[in-house]
Amino acid sequence: MQSPYALPSDLTPVRDRLRAVFGPQLANHRLDPLSQMIRALIGTRTYDEVTWAAFIRLHQAFPDWETLTTAEPDGIEAIIDPVVGADQKARQLPILLRVIRLKRGDLDLSFLAHEPVDEAMDWLTRLPGINPKIAASTLAFSTLARPVLVVDPHVHRVTRRLGLVAAGGTARQVYDDLMFQVPQGWTEADLFELHWLLKPHGQSICSHFDPACALCALKDICPRVGVSHDQDREVLAFGGRDGASGR
Ligand code: SF4
């Protein structure tokens, strides 16, 4: 994989500085891959606590995801509301599951544990409604535990301000450029941790509207120290808003 703007990796000092602030980030509970995909899809542009509550209600209503393939969108919407875009997500979910079943014969995504990561990302992002962030979270946060960095709006904003990725790239280009910079020997646990360090950093310090550069553990390595949001228009490829990115 080649990148037009990849720099020598700065991910290790970023990880180490943020770990000193937030502590080590370890994976605990993991969903199966299909559940994680559904959770990520309904969580787009929605706060995590709202998403988790909606996901739990949805899973209680459809304990066997197979029954979701024939569910009425209106009924799904009533269950997942108030996630952002509940009506659109309610229409997407049965279609997504039916396409998976058509392509695979069932809803089992465990085969993705054995595919090369790039091919697994490609397979997932060809599914309707599955963007690179949802695909990456399906691979990285589920029981698949693949070595993939989940790039949400917070991760994107922080890494862009750090100069690790260029502004204006698509979500997949940003993902590819960051993956290109992953140090040799990093595991899925390292990438899981990097996401869960960058995300709270973006939520609490390197926020969109008022980055607290004076308090930032990365200010000695950040070329954008002192930036304000007026100088720093967000790239919209990730469709997020400050504080809400979904898992
Ligand atoms: S120095 Fe400022 S712009 Fe750079 S990462 Fe820290 S908070 Fe963000």
Percent with pLDDT over 70 in the chain: 89
In this prediction, residue 219 has a pLDDT band, given cuts at 50, 70 and 90, of very high
pLDDT given for residue 3 in this prediction: 44
Distance from residue 31's CA to the centre of ligand 1 (Å): 33
Q: What tokens appear for 48 in the block?
A: 């995590």
Q: Is the pLDDT of residue 51 over 90?
A: yes
| Structural class in CATH, domain 11-25+150-238 | mainly alpha
How many Å apart are CA 113 and CA 184, to the nearest integer? Answer: 20
**How do residues 147-164 score in pLDDT, each as one tens digit?**
999 999 999 999 999 999
How many Å apart are CA 84 and CA 61, to the nearest integer? Answer: 20
Residue ranges of domains in the chain? 11-25+150-238, 33-141
Task: State whether the beta carbon of 205 lies less than 6 angstroms from ligand 1.
Answer: yes
How many Å apart are CA 64 and CA 114, to the nearest integer? Answer: 24
Give the residue, by CA position, lying nearest to ligand 1 atom 2. 213
How many Å apart are CA 68 and CA 58, to the nearest integer? Answer: 9
pLDDT given for residue 5 in this prediction: 44
Q: Is the pLDDT of residue 2 over 60?
A: no
Q: Is the pLDDT of residue 106 over 60?
A: yes
Q: Is the pLDDT of residue 242 over 90?
A: no
Q: Is the pLDDT of residue 238 over 70?
A: no
pLDDT given for residue 167 in this prediction: 85
Task: State whether the beta carbon of 199 lies less than 6 angstroms from ligand 1.
Answer: no
Q: Is the pLDDT of residue 239 over 70?
A: no
Task: State whether the beta carbon of 198 lies less than 6 angstroms from ligand 1.
Answer: no
Atom of ligand 1 nearest to the CA of 232: 3
Task: State whether the beta carbon of 213 lies less than 6 angstroms from ligand 1.
Answer: yes
Q: Which numeric CATH code is attached to 33-141?
A: 1.10.340.30
**Which stretch of 171-175, 190-194, 203-207, 237-241 has the lowest confidence by average pLDDT?**
237-241
In this prediction, residue 234 has a pLDDT band, given cuts at 50, 70 and 90, of low
Q: Is the pLDDT of residue 222 over 80?
A: yes
Q: Is the pLDDT of residue 97 over 90?
A: yes
pTM: 0.89
CB atoms within 10 A of CB 173: 17
**How do residues 52-67 score in pLDDT, each as one tens digit?**
999 999 999 999 999 9
Atom of ligand 1 nearest to the CA of 157: 8
33, 118, 135 from 110: Cα distances, Å = 7, 16, 14
